[in-house]
Amino acid sequence: MRAGLETALRDAVRTGRLPAGLRLPSSRALAVDLGVARNTVAEAYGQLVAEGWLVATQGSGTRVADRVAAAEQPAAGASPPPGPRYDLRPGVPDVAAFPRAAWLAAARRALAVAPAAAFGYGDPRGRPELREALAGYLARARGVRAGPDRIVVCAGFSHGLGLLCQVLRERGARQLAVEGYGQPQHRGIAVAQRLDVTALPVDPAGADIRRVGNADAVLLTPAHQFPLGVALAPARRTQAVGWAADRDGVVIEDDYDGEFRYDRQPVGALQPLAPEHVVYAGTTSKSLAPGLRLAWLVVPSVLVDDLVAAKTLSGCVAGIVEQLTLAEFLNSGRYDRQVRRQRLAYRRRRDRLLTALRRAAPHLRVTGIAAGLHALLELPDGQGEDEIIAGATRRNLAVDGLDGYRLTDERQPPALVVGYATPPEHAYTAAVARLIAALTEA
């Protein structure tokens, strides 16, 4: 605790957040505020006085040293510009809703019973407690068929996708097909692993599997296509697994927000249709927080050893404490409760967005809203994405255009991709108001 306090104070002085000459709280007052022993604060102050960051004067307390603060002030123009105050970009949940108290309680319970061996290097697939908990949860919630031995825990989906592309390339794959609209960084990950990438057209039935061509693997978001928001039609789900079986190919199923659905029954995972040809990928990035860096791959048996070997060599692993905590979170039912709580909260946000749009811009068509954390706002003739984005930027609002997710030459009509989960609750109304202003005044 003392080291952390010293680091925080030192950085605050260095960056100018604590200006020169500022009088700091007494050690007693700061200790009460932080909930630590007074000696901890007094010793931290003493160390920083000795280093020259602070000055202690009898009768006038502890202040920030003038010399150090002046020397460490950043040069004019060196600080990065502040980000937008309001953010409706997709891909991030409301991180302010992260269940801190419940997570901390789960961590305490998990650490109290964890064996000492848990803090060694351990199984590169991930902690067995987490893999067992995930196997049960995925079977119950998403219909995934897999035992713990087929689950590999990764440090986020991007980490897992990179490992998969590496393994597929080493096994002879040369081409990955992706949806024509999707995350550009996923394409970049595949290219970095020396895979050729082709784009599949996406229509109201989802990705057109008939256009896979000579690809060795295909990356899909079948439950809720990102960013167009459609579900992969039953016939195309059948085509996807049929193609994989016929060609001995691999389907990578990115189930990034499968827990969040509102106006329709949940679409089950693709993986149970062909467990030996589908890699199922899940993550806590939407259900809890992306900063946890926790994801999992349910892998066909033929790929497990190669994937584990690649992960071992990569040296990148998810934190052991986070894995143990998530296992406890799943086993205790807290994960399910958090998902239910956020599903209700995000549905209410979606409804507030729709109500505001119907009142102010009834001519707009809004799609992709039956599930997930974003909506697609199709712009009318005469309005372009850049025009609306520029208007939003002037209002201190960040929003994305659909064209920024285009990976193919086939272009969809202009639209905005609005992430209604992103802002904290206290900023949501203002963010939507700014979006309405940008749309109606364009």
Distance of CA 204 to the CA centre of its chain: 26
Mean pLDDT of 401-412: 91
> Has residue 257 been placed in a domain?
yes
- Is residue 232 one of the residues assigned to a domain? yes
For residues 289 and 368, state if they share a domain.
no
326 and 358 in a single domain? The answer is no
Provide the pLDDT for residue 410: 84
Q: What is the mean pLDDT of residues 121-147?
A: 93
Residue 253 phi, psi dihedral angles, 5° rounding: -100, 105
Asked if 23 and 49 sit in the same domain, the reply is yes
The whole-number pLDDT of residue 69 equals: 42
Q: Per the domain annotation, does 121 fall within a domain?
A: yes
Rounded distance between C-alpha atoms, residue 190 and residue 175, angstroms? 9
Find the domain containing 19 and state its range.
2-72
**Cα 72 from chain centroid?**
34
Residues 404 and 385 in one domain: yes
Are 244 and 138 within one domain?
Answer: yes
> In sequence order, what are the beta bridge partners of 398?
87
Q: Which two tokens stand for residue 111?
A: 């650490």
| pLDDT top residue among 24 and 206 | 206
pLDDT for residue 89: 95
User: What pLDDT is recorded for position 340?
Assistant: 94
Q: What is the mean pLDDT of residues 239-253?
A: 95
Domain boundary among 286, 307, 332: 332
User: CATH no. for residue 384?
Assistant: 3.90.1150.10
Q: How confident is the model at residue 442 (pLDDT cuts 50, 70, 90)?
A: low
Same-domain check for residues 136 and 67: no
Same domain, 54 and 122: no
On the question of pLDDT at 122 being above 90, the answer is: no
Per-residue pLDDT tens over the stretch 268-296: 899 999 999 999 999 999 999 999 999 99
Strands 86-87 and 397-398: parallel
Compute the average pLDDT of residues 69-95.
71
The phi-psi region of residue 300 (left if phi > 0; otherwise alpha if psi is between -120 and 50; otherwise beta) is: beta
Nearest Cα to 432, choosing from 91, 86, 93?
Answer: 86
In the 8-state DSSP scheme, what is residue 75?
Answer: P
Query: What pLDDT, in 10s, does the model give residues 320-351?
Result: 999 999 999 999 999 999 999 999 999 999 99
The reply to whether 141 and 248 lie within a common domain is yes
Residue 81 forms part of a structural domain:
no
322 shares a domain with 193: yes
**Domain count within the chain:** 3
pLDDT, average across residues 18-40: 80
Q: Say yes or no: 340 and 306 in one domain.
A: no
* 213 in any annotated domain: yes
Comparing 107-121, 259-273, 312-326, the range with the smallest average pLDDT is 259-273
Q: List the CATH number of the domain containing 209.
A: 3.40.640.10
| pLDDT score, position 68 | 47
Q: How confident is the model at residue 245 (pLDDT cuts 50, 70, 90)?
A: very high
CATH of the domain at 25: 1.10.10.10
With cut-offs at 50, 70 and 90, classify the pLDDT of residue 67: low
263 shares a domain with 172: yes
| pLDDT at 217 > cutoff 50 | yes
Q: Which regions of 7-132 does DSSP assign to beta strands (E)? A: 54-57, 61-64, 86-87
Average pLDDT on 63-80 reads 58
pLDDT for residue 389: 94
Strand runs (DSSP E) across 138-249, as ranges? 151-154, 175-179, 196-200, 202-203, 206-207, 217-220
Residues 434 and 326 in one domain: no
